[in-house]
Structure 1
Amino acid sequence: MLEMFQEELEVYENNAELLKVLAHPVRLCIVKGLIERGPSNVSTMYTCLNMPQSTISQHLAKLKSAKIVTSERKGLEIYYDVQNEKVLQLIQVMFH
């Protein structure tokens, strides 16, 4: 019984952490943009968000560490994408 409670608590903690990372307006905007436009690099996001590339990169690092976005290197550029099914569903509910 205690083991089941601990597993359930871990699910709550993981979901809460996911929501905390998404709670920042810039990160939410990045994720929504990636879902709508598909894989993008920082230069593309910089043009859309009109903020320093370093700021976008910092937010992407947090999204990546939370496994919200994935990255793939293509030549000299890194393209970011949202593959997390839970996040895809959450964004769809929030914005549609």
Structure 2
Amino acid sequence: MNSDDLVKFTEAAELLKVLAHPIRLCIVKGLIEKGECNVTHMQNCLKAPQSTVSQHLQKLKAAGVIEGVRNGLEINYKVCDSQAIALVIVLFENQS
């Protein structure tokens, strides 16, 4: 394995690590389906405390999977990583 391969495998492993949590996976899947939404909407959908949702959003943001766009007082999040989109679509393609 050459150094270019190692970089690719490392990047892929990091993406898998950040997606490997039920709440983060649910957030990304929901954002793919909805396009974008804010923390309050996610909190209601996930039935999770705002602090929990925010922690997971920060991890996804730090990994470059999602980005936030300020709209007045709220921030709407959307998925900006095409690999993450492709992975989540493949994971859930056979589920209704």
- Is the structural similarity TM-score above 0.5? yes
State the partner residue of 1:59.
56
CA distance in 1, matches of 2:85, 2:34: 13
| Number of residue pairs the alignment of both structures matches | 93
Note the residue ranges of structure 1 that are not aligned, 5 or more in a row.
none
Say whether residues 1:92 and 2:68 are aligned partners.
Answer: no
Q: TM-score, normalised by structure 1?
A: 0.93
Q: What amino acid maps onto 2:83 in structure 1?
A: K
Once the two structures are superposed, what CA deviation does each residue of 1:16-64 show, in whole Å capped at 9, x if it has no partner?
A: 0000010001100000011111111000001100110010000000000
> Quick check: which has more Rg, 1 or 2?
1
Say whether residues 1:23 and 2:8 are aligned partners.
Answer: no
CA RMSD of aligned residues (A): 1.0
Residue 6 (structure 1) shift = 1.0
Q: What amino acid maps onto 2:4 in structure 1?
A: E
Q: What amino acid maps onto 1:32 in structure 2?
A: K
Q: TM-score, normalised by structure 2?
A: 0.93
State the partner residue of 2:39.
42
Say whether residues 1:80 and 2:86 are aligned partners.
Answer: no
Runs of 4+ residues deviating >2 angstroms? none
Three-state SS of the structure 1 residue aligned to 2:36 is coil
State the partner residue of 1:71.
68
* Greater per-residue strand proportion: 2
State the partner residue of 1:10.
7
Three-state SS of the structure 2 residue aligned to 1:92 is helix
Q: What amino acid maps onto 2:90 in structure 1?
A: V
